[in-house]
Homo-oligomer: A and B are copies of this chain.
Amino acid sequence: MAMTGVLRPGHVQLRVLDLNESVDFYSNVLGLIETGRDAMGRVYFKTWEERDHHSVILRQADNAGVDFFAFKVDSDATLAKLEKDLNAYGVATKRIEAGDLLETRERVRFTLPTGHDIELYAHKTAIGNEMGELNPEAWCANAEKGIAPIRLDHALLYGPDIEKAQAIFTDVLGFFLVEHIALDDSQDLAIWLSCSTKAHDIAFVRHPEPGKLHHVSFLLETWEQVLRAADIMSMNRVSIDIGPTRHGVTRGTTIYAFDPNGNRFETFCGGNYAYPDQKPTKWTMDEVGAAVFYHDRKLNDRFLTVVT
């Protein structure tokens, strides 16, 4: 009880068009730390603050987008139980063998009705953050290398049947709905789900095409770090979608920008905390602009259309 079961987003595998250019971007502009490369040529990264071996994996491919998004669970027992529960709920799962990803044991993969592959796993080698676990300093030099986010925070995925994805997350995996934008009385345009006290661990927007990525989000500690991130984007001629600004949903501050492959990423800060006993916050379509971009109170064209 308390914080158990599904713990947090653990990794995302992104498809990139030019691996070298992307490695440079994720290393030197976003400021992740490369932790390994595997036989398939995939490149592994973590933030300076994360303790497990990796949270972002880049794979060279012919089209951009997301291969899979994974959550760490607290134990092998939980992994087995959730696998069984998913199957009982009618969700087919597949075991990926240990070692398929570096320093990661067996993963359980399933496909959401939205067309996205989600994974659960219980073990990834803890290599420690850069300050260590004995009398640590408050931060370290790599906290200022590039944008240098704290952690992989969440992803926003676009696809159909988001209510079915929501049901799997809430009925089986223990997530709860934190906020939603209601299209009308019967269905939502967008949902934000949490398995923790974060404002969201994963989110979905209804979209006709399955399996699309709107953005992967990385956490920054302060609004001043958001400004610094925007500055670094400008210095590196990164294409900014919008920001710095604030979301109405979660109240977090944000920049949306694009990696060299057109995958949108977010540098996110703040946001409400959430607990499962609280009533979800509802946004209606007349305020959808404020829900997404609080200051402008209107969507830009790209929010609902540009995905990878």
- In contact, A223 and B234 (Cβ under 8 angstroms): no
- Which residues does chain B contribute within 8 Å of A134, judged by CB atoms? 281-284
- In contact, A2 and B196 (Cβ under 8 angstroms): yes
- In contact, A135 and B5 (Cβ under 8 angstroms): no
A158 at interface, CB cutoff 8 A: no
- Which residues does chain B contribute within 8 Å of A235, judged by CB atoms? 137-138
A185 at interface, CB cutoff 8 A: no
- The verdict on A194 contacting B251 (CB below 8 Å), with A234-B295, A276-B74 known, is no
A87 at interface, CB cutoff 8 A: no
- Which residues does chain B contribute within 8 Å of A281, judged by CB atoms? 133-134, 136
7 A-B pairs (CB sep. < 8 Å): A2-B195, A72-B277, A133-B279, A136-B248, A138-B246, A139-B251, A223-B224
- In contact, B6 and A135 (Cβ under 8 angstroms): no
From A197, A253, A279, A282, residue with most partner B Cβ within 10 Å: A197
A299 at interface, CB cutoff 8 A: no
- In contact, A234 and B197 (Cβ under 8 angstroms): no
**Complexed CA–CA distance, A234 and B295 (Å):** 5
